[in-house]
Amino acid sequence: MKKVLFAFALALVASSAMAQDKVIRKARLIKDEVQNLVATPNRNEKQEAELKTKLAQCMEMLEPTFTSPETKKELANAWDIKAQLHSYILSPLLDKAIAKEVTDTAQLAQNLFASLDAIQKCYNATQELGLKGEKDPYSVPNKLNVLKFRPIVAYCGQMFFQNQQFPQAVDAFKRWMTYPQTYTILGPDAATLAEDEQTPQIAYYTCLAAYFAKDNEVFNQFIDQARQYTQEKDQVNQLYLTHFIEQGDTASWLKAGREIVVADPAANDAVAQNILAYYFNKGDFKTAQGFADELIASDANSRLGNYAKGLVFMNDHKYKEAIPFFVKATETDPSFSDAYYNAGVCWSNYGYDINESLSGKKMTTQQFNAAVQPVKDAYKEAEPYFLKVQELEPENTHKWATRLRTVYYILGNKAKEAEMAKLVGE
């Protein structure tokens, strides 16, 4: 009795499988009718209506077969039909896009991605069934479509980005980036796509879209590839660092920023300034000096590296040690007004400290004049630096006139002192 029941159950399964396969074969016939209608030029309203009806009918007919355990031999066929149906819907949308007409990007992307995914599932089914060569009528034409569709995936990402639909842009760009891994139907061609010269650029667009979409997972997934995009290196670096700042990840911002600056100090002056400002604001002069040393080690003529090293010594009241670094910065950049200014300040402060050391000491006039001479010499050294600031920033009177007034006071040049006093309104 049990054997009879078991045989009956097997018969039911076989019958159900045959029914599913029959549905798929019928869907193939309807698909062929759809294909003929698609190929019909200048379709009239009746034909358009018939096309839509048959498309919907075929899609609805296929849907249960994808999840039915009874679908066996015809599963690859079912996925192939679905892929083609979506490509038929895609085709006129793509024509409009190529003609630069208003196009429903969401519909274009939806059918493009659905066709691609169906192609891959068709390929998976052929592998499970062991279909090869003549027994696999699907993979060769489908692979050509996968290769042909990749630029359209990037186009969808671009359109979504322009429309500020950033999550959708992320999805499209991510599909392009993971194309070689996702569509295994490509076989050996996947390696060629993975090495596509556009990869760094698309990686940058992916990260940019992910940044606006606040998708940190995707951003982190592709940022290393995005940083290989050299044509817009400054923008890539800015995006990279801004991401860390907005995440509140100061440690990563500093680490990444220092790497970027040391790799190319001249091109990343603004980044270096921000990092140094951070260290100085924190009072972390030791780390600031270490960073300055890195810059100078990378480029002995580093404008900012030498300037920063000068600032470190200056903040430590080591004025004479600071001056050569400010001077080196001006040699690299003759328009570097702040470096000239700080060199002048260092000479002035050096003279001031000498003068302060004389306070309270009992000396003869001759001794005093001898002791004061180094003070005058120091202020005399400061004068040309402040004059250079005047040349570079004539409108910023208080910056140089106040300092020059003190210089001329120490040097005893009353006419020049009065001239500077007048300029600052005193």
Residues 32 and 121 in one domain: yes
The answer on 220 and 108 residing in a single domain is: no
Which pLDDT band holds residue 267 (cuts at 50, 70, 90)?
A: confident
CB atoms within 10 A of CB 93: 20
Are 147 and 103 found together in one domain?
A: yes
Residue 19's pLDDT is what? 63
3-state secondary structure of 333: coil
CB 193 within 8 A of CB 180: yes
List pLDDT tens digits, range 30-72: 888 888 877 888 888 888 888 888 888 888 888 888 888 777 7
Question: Are residue 374 and residue 360 in the same domain, yes or no?
Answer: yes
* Residue 3 neighbours by CB under 8 Å, 6+ apart: none
Work out the burial of residue 259: count CB atoms within 10 Å of its CB; fewer than 13 is exposed, 13-18 middle, 19 or more buried: exposed
Digit-coded pLDDT (tens) for 174-184: 999 999 999 99
Structure tokens at 160: 């979504």
Distance of alpha carbon 104 from the chain centroid: 28
With a CB cutoff of 8 Å and minimum separation 6, the contacts of 239 are 204, 207, 208, 211, 226
b/e burial code for range 117-149 (CB count within 10 A of at least 16 → b) = bbbbbbbebbeeeebeeeebebbeebbeebbeb
Calpha distance 131→64 (Å, rounded): 23
162 and 42 assigned to the same domain: yes
What is residue 13's predicted lDDT score, i.e. its pLDDT?
Answer: 36
- Answer whether 338's CB lies under 8 Å from 385's CB: no
* 306-324 confidence digits (pLDDT tens): 999 999 999 999 999 999 9
Residues 52 and 147 in one domain: yes
- Whether 8 maps to a domain, the answer reads no
Q: Do residues 234 and 380 share a domain? A: no
Contact criterion met (CB below 8 Å) for 305 and 265 = yes
- Residue 4 CA to its chain's centroid (Å): 68
What integer pLDDT is reported at residue 6 of this predicted model? 45
- The proportion of the chain whose per-residue pLDDT surpasses 70, expressed as a percent, equals 95
In this structure, is residue 3 part of a structural domain? no
* Domain assignment of residue 239, given as a range: 207-247
Average pLDDT over residues 71-78: 83
Question: Which residue, 196, 229, 259, sits at the end of a domain?
Answer: 196
Pair (214, 353) in one structural domain: no
Look up tokens 């696999």; give the residue.
136
Instruction: Compute the distance between CA of residue 329 and CA of residue 269 in angstroms, rounded to an integer.
Output: 13
How far apart are the C-alpha atoms of 90 and 114, rounded to whole Å? 10
| Boundary residue ending a domain (186, 217, 247) | 247
What's the pLDDT tens digit per position in 293-307?
988 998 899 888 999
Alpha-carbon distance 89 to 108, whole Å?
A: 8
- Mean pLDDT to the nearest integer, 91-115: 90
At 3 the pLDDT is: 45
User: What digits encode the pLDDT tens for the residues 179-227?
Assistant: 999 999 999 888 888 888 899 999 999 999 999 999 999 999 999 999 9
Residue 1 pLDDT level (bands cut at 50, 70, 90): very low
For the segment 231-261, what is each residue's pLDDT rounded down to a tens digit?
A: 989 899 999 999 999 889 999 999 999 999 8
Sign of CA dihedral 89, 91, 97, 100: negative
234 shares a domain with 355: no
Average pLDDT, the chain: 89
Is there a domain that residue 201 lies in? no
- Tell me, what's the pLDDT at 391? 97
pLDDT of amino acid 62: 85
Query: Residue 322's pLDDT is what?
Result: 97
Same domain, 94 and 169: yes
Tell whether 170 is covered by a domain.
yes
Domain at 254, CATH number: 1.25.40.10
Mean pLDDT score, 99-108? 89
> In 10 A of CB 48, how many CB atoms?
12
Identify the pLDDT of residue 268.
85
Domain assignment present for 379: yes
pLDDT tens digits, 358-417? 888 888 889 888 999 999 999 999 999 999 999 999 999 999 999 999 999 999 999 999
Sign of the CA dihedral with 66 first, then 69, 75, and 78 last: negative
Asked if 45 and 163 sit in the same domain, the reply is yes
Q: Is residue 153 situated within a structural domain?
A: yes
Last residue of some domain: 196, 217, 232? 196
Q: How many CB atoms lie within 10 A of CB 8?
A: 9
Hunting for tokens 């780390």 — which residue is that? 287
pLDDT at 273 exceeding the cut of 60: yes
Domain count of the fold of the chain: 4
pLDDT of residue 364: 87
Phi, psi of 118 (to 5 degrees): -65, -40
Asked whether residue 98 is domain-assigned, the answer is yes
> Can you give the pLDDT at residue 57?
87
Is residue 300 a contact partner of residue 284, using CB atoms and an 8 Å limit?
no
* Rounded distance between C-alpha atoms, residue 344 and residue 352, angstroms: 12
Whether residue 222 is contained in a domain is answered as: yes
Residue 196, pLDDT score: 85
Q: How many CB atoms lie within 10 A of CB 241?
A: 20
Q: Domain check: are 166 and 234 in the same one?
A: no
